[in-house]
Amino acid sequence: MTNRLAPSLLVLASLGLSGCAALSPDSGMNAVSELTSQTINKDVAFVRTAEGAGAADARVRQLLSRTLSVETAVQIALLNNKGLQAAYNELALAETDLVEQSLPPNPVFSVSRISGNGASEIERQIVGDILALATLPFRSEIARDRFRQAQLRAGLATLRLAADVRRAYWRAVGGNEMVVLLTDAKATAESTAQLAVKLGETGSINKLDQAREQVFYAETTADLATARQTTTSAREKLARLMGLWDGGLDFRLPSQLPPLPRRPQALPSIEADAVAHRIDLQIARLELTALAKSLNLTEATRFVTLLGLAGISRRTRDPEGPPFRERGFDVQFQIPIFDGGEVRVRQAAETYNFAFNRLTERAVNVRSEARDAYRIYRSGYDIASHYQREIIPLRKIITEEMQLRFSSMQVDIFALLTEARQRLASLRGAIDARQRFFLAQSDLQTAVNGGGAPADGDNSTTLAAVAPADGGH
């Protein structure tokens, strides 16, 4: 009875453990959707069918039919960016790894036949890896942690794309406003330079004043060309991030930046918020948890790395006697004579310590990044607000007074032109300050939720490769 029980136990154990693993309909996208809806309040879609692609294209065309806001641009990118879809494909692949790690190893069935001198022997074996079956619950738990990491990485890719779109959008819109300002300034400077040439021909102004007006026109022309090129590059980057083909490059953007909010955000607990919500920290924490479980599994199996059980059935036919059948089992295990598992345990322990130190370093950096981002945000608001409340109104008063004095012939045309140049510099400074504020606003959101560029030393992928999910088996 014992001989017959061994193969039956192998089959029953494999069937019982295999019932818990299955691929989900959405490939784990539910966690990504929840994450993005909580942080940036946007819809995400994993496009895998022709119907889904058609629905996403229709939504994108609808959003492109009107002037884009920053939120609309982000939504288009989340629906249309193929690099983000590739990140979702990686999530689907990670789920297949989870299912694969959650399945018991398939038993191996072998048949052999030996004959000679009229006698024959047929042997059948069914072989199973008992150690793999015994450690399957632990390996499945580690695989679930890895899959959760993959979900967070997909969410991080989503937030990173949204942050990049916001930066490109503000640079493009700020560039549009600067181009409009410099276009008007160039037209005025051109008229002034032509007037200076005519006055110079009559001897009304000297060569120095004439050269000043001409160089101002030349510099304004160069600044306008630079602004146009910068704006065009920002617009191209925005188009790439939104995943637009050639036909989508005619999307409309506002001609100027929006006004500043009435008051800046007050974030007294920004450091705690960043530590609690940053996705890269959540990934690092899960990595540490998975490595701790892997270390425990490695320590538990340090002496036994191979344990196999085979059920054997053998039928022998002898021409000199009746045929007979033999049954039995075979057990295989590795004797830890040369390798007692110290190397594997040390590798797992050092990998865990490596991840712990990286997590601690990342937490320190996150707190610092959050503080710095908030200081830049508040400073940017104060500077832009100072331009809006103080500098630009004062420049307007000065311009109006200079025009009154010019009308009453108290000042000449060149004093008025000098003031025009100074006012242009103030207007350019105001546009630049507002653009910096909106960029800082985007960076502040990134500092709290994640989505910035990968930090130096971010080795989550390396750690996953260093420490196998099965604890080294």
For the four alpha carbons of 145, 151, 157 and 159, in that order, the dihedral sign comes to negative
- Distance from C-alpha of 171 to C-alpha of 236, rounded to nearest angstrom: 11
Per-residue pLDDT at 311: 59
Per-residue pLDDT at 390: 94
| Tokens describing residue 273 | 């918020």
Per-residue pLDDT at 134: 66
Is the per-residue pLDDT at 2 higher than 50? Answer: no
Per-residue pLDDT at 270: 86
* Integer angstrom CA distances of residue 146 from 89, 98, 463: 16, 8, 11
Per-residue pLDDT at 387: 95
Angle, to 10 degrees, between the axis of helix 279-300 and the axis of helix 136-202? 150
- Distance from C-alpha of 351 to C-alpha of 362, rounded to nearest angstrom: 16
Per-residue pLDDT at 1: 42
* Integer angstrom CA distances of residue 12 from 6, 158, 217, 318, 333: 10, 43, 88, 34, 22
Is the per-residue pLDDT at 470 higher than 50? Answer: no
Mean pLDDT of 430-451: 91
Is the per-residue pLDDT at 53 higher than 50? Answer: yes
Q: Are 33 and 39 in contact (CB under 8 A)?
A: no
219-252 pLDDT, tens per residue? 999 999 999 999 999 999 999 999 998 655 679 9
Helix (H) or strand (E) holding 308: strand 307-317
Mean pLDDT of 188-203: 84
315-330 pLDDT, tens per residue? 667 666 677 676 766 6
Could you tell me the pLDDT band of residue 308, with boundaries at 50, 70 and 90? low
Closest Cα partner for 451 from 280, 308, 320, 312? 280
One-letter amino acid at 319 equals: P
Cβ-based burial of 109 (10 A; exposed 0-12, middle 13-18, buried ≥19): exposed
The mean pLDDT of the chain is 80
One-letter amino acid at 428 equals: R
Per-residue pLDDT at 10: 45
Please tell me the pTM assigned to this model: 0.79
340-392 pLDDT, tens per residue? 566 667 777 888 888 888 888 888 888 999 999 999 999 999 999 999 999 99
Buried b (16+ CB within 10 A) or exposed e, 274-290: bbebbbbbbbbbbbbbb
Q: Are 336 and 303 in contact (CB under 8 A)?
A: yes
Could you tell me the pLDDT band of residue 280, with boundaries at 50, 70 and 90? confident
Per-residue pLDDT at 466: 35
412-438 pLDDT, tens per residue? 777 888 888 899 999 999 999 999 999
Per-residue pLDDT at 469: 39
For the ranges 115-119, 138-142, 266-270, 282-286, which has the lowest average pLDDT?
115-119
Is the per-residue pLDDT at 472 higher than 50? Answer: no
24-34 pLDDT, tens per residue? 878 888 888 88
76-107 pLDDT, tens per residue? 999 999 999 999 999 998 888 888 878 877 77
Q: Which strand ranges, in their side-by-side order, compose the sheet holding 108-116?
A: 108-116, 119-129, 307-317, 324-333
Backbone angles phi, psi at 472, to 5 degrees: 105, 10
What is the percentage of the chain residues whose pLDDT exceeds 90?
Answer: 34
Is the per-residue pLDDT at 309 higher than 70? Answer: no
11: CB partners within 8 A, 6+ apart: 107, 126
- Distance from C-alpha of 16 to C-alpha of 264, rounded to nearest angstrom: 59
Per-residue pLDDT at 456: 41
Is the per-residue pLDDT at 45 higher than 80? Answer: yes
Per-residue pLDDT at 339: 52
Q: Are 198 and 167 in contact (CB under 8 A)?
A: no
Mean pLDDT of 447-453: 76
For the ranges 11-25, 32-46, 162-176, 245-259, which has the lowest average pLDDT?
11-25
112-153 pLDDT, tens per residue? 877 766 677 777 777 766 666 666 777 777 788 888 888 889
